[in-house]
Amino acid sequence: MVSSSSFLLLVALLALVSWQAFASDPSPLQDFCVADKNSPVLVNGFVCKNPKGVNADDFFKAAELDKPRMTNKVGSNVTLINVMQIAGLNTLGISIARIDYAPLGQNPPHTHPRATEILTVLEGTLYVGFVTSNPNNTLLSKVLNKGDVFVFPVGLIHFQFNPNPHMPAVAIAALSSQNPGAITIANAVFGSKPPISDDVLAKAFQVEKGTIDWLQAQFWENNHY
């Protein structure tokens, strides 16, 4: 007979294994599952296209990631290639992004709720970092030069900033999801529709309601294209 303590330990281990199995995009059960974006069936991801109708274009996009992009008022432009651009990424658990930074531009604090990110600098210099979860909220940051690589763990708030006032910077990032999602903190908090009550935000940030009203009146521009 298995003792109660051993049984509980076994249950805990099985729960941990199960959690790890579902902690990211599910593994494919066949060679590929090209997204059928016209299917009326709703699933977690996309229904598979009939493999007999799949061709090389389902795995291709002339994305021109070698060409610079215009940046916005925060000084960055994120060009994401995910399952919405390449249907063949469905179930494969990966996507890629080119990020352009103007001089003194930044990719402001944000999170990816469904992906870990690994970033490499192609041109210029970046000051990057992420903040650990409560209660410590420790900032881990680094200055990256051309060829350097940095990892941002899934779900944690992170940022990139180009400290050079004269030269732009470029990075490429890979993300561990076909659809990593992005939540830009300022946009979500002060630019939500409908807006969060200024009473709530004034209390949360310990400032006057007038400050919150001013922040909510700003145009919170999206830098993900």
Q: What is the DSSP letter of 87?
A: G
Give residues with Cβ within 8 angstroms of 49, minimum separation 6: 33, 34, 35, 36, 58, 87
Nearest to 96 by CA among 75, 113, 119, 114: 119
Nearest to 172 by CA among 225, 117, 116: 117
Burial-class residue 56 by CB neighbours within 10 Å (0-12, 13-18, 19+). Answer: exposed
- Whether 117 has a binding-site annotation, put simply, is yes
Nearest to 156 by CA among 190, 118, 112, 189: 112
- Whether 72 has a binding-site annotation, put simply, is no
Nearest to 128 by CA among 137, 118, 114: 118
HEC readout, 89-106: HCCCCCEEEEEEECCCCE
- Residue 129 carries which side chain, given as an amino acid letter? G
> In this structure, what token pair is assigned to residue 136?
């410590």
- Whether 224 has a binding-site annotation, put simply, is no
Binding-site annotation, residues for Mn(2+) = 110, 112, 117, 158
Binding-site annotation, residues = 107, 110, 112, 117, 158
Binding-site annotation, residues for oxalate = 107, 112, 117
